[in-house]
Amino acid sequence: MAEHYSSFERKGSRWLLQRVTAVFLVGVLAFHFMLLHFVNHAAEVTLAGTGARMSVEPYFVTMMLFLVTATFHGVNGVYNALVNQGLTGTRKRAVKWVLIAAGVLLVAQGTRVAVAMATAPAT
């Protein structure tokens, strides 16, 4: 039988965070689908409605947590998948820093958009 290999150290912090973020993302995605696909149908979602939702502090905080959590989960998952494929040495360090930079830029741009939506004047 094949030996189990994972770049995650079982019970390590990255292993735990990957699972915790997955649970959070499933919950927030369920909330998203319920709100934007069942309560409000896609054809009814407007820029003004999005601005109104984003101006409500608990919704804004939830969406910001969603952004940060999804970014971490994705970057951490890609990094570990590459390490599992045998990435080592200088390439591993380079990929790690490129993914960190991409994650920071994604969160920064997502934050800019979220703030712009939350503070947009009502039309």
Residues in the chain: 123
Least confident of 1-5, 46-50, 54-58, 68-72: 1-5
Domain for residue 7, yes or no? no
- pLDDT, tens digit (0-9, with 9 covering 90-100), for 58-95: 999 999 999 999 999 999 999 999 998 999 999 999 99
* Structural domain span for residue 21: 13-119
What pLDDT is stored for residue 37 in this prediction?
82
- Measure the CA–CA gap between 47 and 120, rounded to whole angstroms: 9
Query: Residue 5: what pLDDT?
Result: 57
- With respect to residue 4, please indicate whether it lies within any of the assigned structural domains: no
Q: Tokens 């490129």 label which residue? A: 98
Going by pLDDT thresholds of 50, 70 and 90, the confidence category of residue 36 is confident
Identify whether 45 is part of a domain: yes
Q: What is d(CA 55, CA 61) in angstroms, rounded to the nearest whole number?
A: 10
Q: Is residue 1 part of a domain?
A: no
Identify the CATH number of the domain in which residue 77 sits: 1.20.1300
Residue 123 has pLDDT above 70, yes or no: no
* Total number of domains constituting the chain: 1
